[in-house]
Copies of this chain bind each other. A is one copy, B any other.
Amino acid sequence: MKKPEKITARTTDFAKWYIDVIAQADLMNYGPIKGTIYFKPLGYKIWENIVRIVNSYFVRQKIENVYFPLLIPQDFIEKEKKHIKGFAPELLTITKVGDKSLAENIYIRPTSELLFADYFKAEIAKNNILPIKLNQWSQVLRWEKTTNPFLRNTEFLWQEGHTIHSSKTEAEQFAKKIARFYKDFLENYLSIPVILGKKTNREKFPGAFNTYTVESMMQNKRALQSATSHFLGQNFAKNFDIKFKNKKNETQIPFQTSWGISTRLIGAIVMAHSDDNGLILPPKIAPIQVDILEFFSKKNPEVKIFAKKVAKILKQKKISFQIDDSNEQIGFKINNSEVHGSPVRIEIGPNEVKNQQICLVRRDTREKIIFNISELKNKCPEILRKIQIDLLEKAKKRLSNNTVFVTTYKELKQEIIKGKFVIVPFNESAKKEAEIQEETTATARCIVPRTTIFNLPQSGISIFSGKKTTRFVLFAKSY
């Protein structure tokens, strides 16, 4: 049996802490090729839970799932220069099959806009029906210089939604609606508060007209881009010559969107909530919500009977659980439960049986809660709900305590050094953004709407030009 190993403290080395937490939690092993990982059962179950919840929203929105090829031909690559320029250095290229060289290179999708454009063109030519709203759950590959499990992988799992509409407004509204859904999903299911804003031109998706982004703050105050939704305008439609006939029988060019979340969210969950004892999972996404630990059950068969009774109650309440009835020591069992992130554990020994008591320990606060077993059916769901909310509130406090609004570049630099999220009045060129990045390593995360949690003024003075502006931009160091 595996012995618990030490997890590096967050304050000592946050990057090492992250790797220790995911290793101890059995979320993944490294794959044989740089930047690839083996998703282990617990890591993959977290993703399956994300898929289930997000997919049910898509179904309600009448978005239909499809599966499109992994392979992109040479001539598609040549069609959309702006888009491909953004991905070219990361493209995995197939030049051979067996011993034989191919006449033309084939590329592995880094994203599938080109394939969806090709598909939309044929479908609309045949049926002239709009909108078409599609999604696929798949993987994409990008050869990244620096890789980090879940956060930046050569191959990662994601969903990519693609829609095509007859009107600009409809398409743009749809892209915004999906971005708002992503925000709700992160906050209500993953307990991760986010800032929903628009990317600057410098930071937007290659080929997009607008990119809406959902930015979150990790425990080391770094930003993590957690979901994006792109209004693509007519860019791909023009390059692929997609046309439809409107009600007046006039030929028109349609408008597209694309949007996605990925297994990067597993990394976000880990870095937003976990502590120096290991993984902490929000109850709504945890594959196992309750660990039932049997203590001394080999010598005390009544412990096993009591554990079964507890299990039966949890099952009735549709709470997921697992029973640890192994021969391991108490300390090992507790540690094992803690490193795997189950939101709650219930410890059962001869004393609990004698007193017909539940000894429940919250993983997040490590608070011990003791009550009669008759209360379990109400208490347990209530405590799980409380944990879900408390994790969000804790993360919200971190975000608001570490986000500042300043009005000069000098202050921006000072606050970035302190590790803050910094909002400034900023109506400047991409060149100025590049200069800020050069000097501070921080990037423009998004243009922040004034409707967020931060009290922004009606307008401000742009930090370089000195001109009045209503555009506020969030800068931060990021993953």
Contacts and interface: CB of A to CB of B under 8 A. Distances in A.
Contact of A31 (B1, B41, B69, B91): B69
Interface size class of A (residues with CB under 8 A): 35 or more
A237 to B, nearest CB: 17
A73 B32 contact: yes
A115 B29 CA distance: 12
Contact of A66 (B1, B39, B122, B141): B39
A40 interface: yes
A233 to B, nearest CB: 23
Contact of A39 (B36, B68, B97): B68
B2 A122 contact: no
A318 to B, nearest CB: 16
A70 B139 contact: yes
A89 interface: yes
B95 A96 contact: yes
A44 to B, nearest CB: 5
A93 B93 CA distance: 8
A154 interface: yes
Interface in A34-74: 36-41, 44-45, 47-48, 64-73
A126 interface: yes
B38 A119 contact: yes
A36 B143 CA distance: 23
A470 B64 CA distance: 52
22 contacts: A2-B126, A29-B123, A32-B71, A32-B115, A33-B72, A33-B106, A38-B69, A38-B119, A39-B66, A39-B67, A41-B66, A41-B134, A47-B67, A69-B155, A70-B139, A70-B141, A70-B155, A71-B141, A89-B97, A93-B94, A93-B96, A93-B97
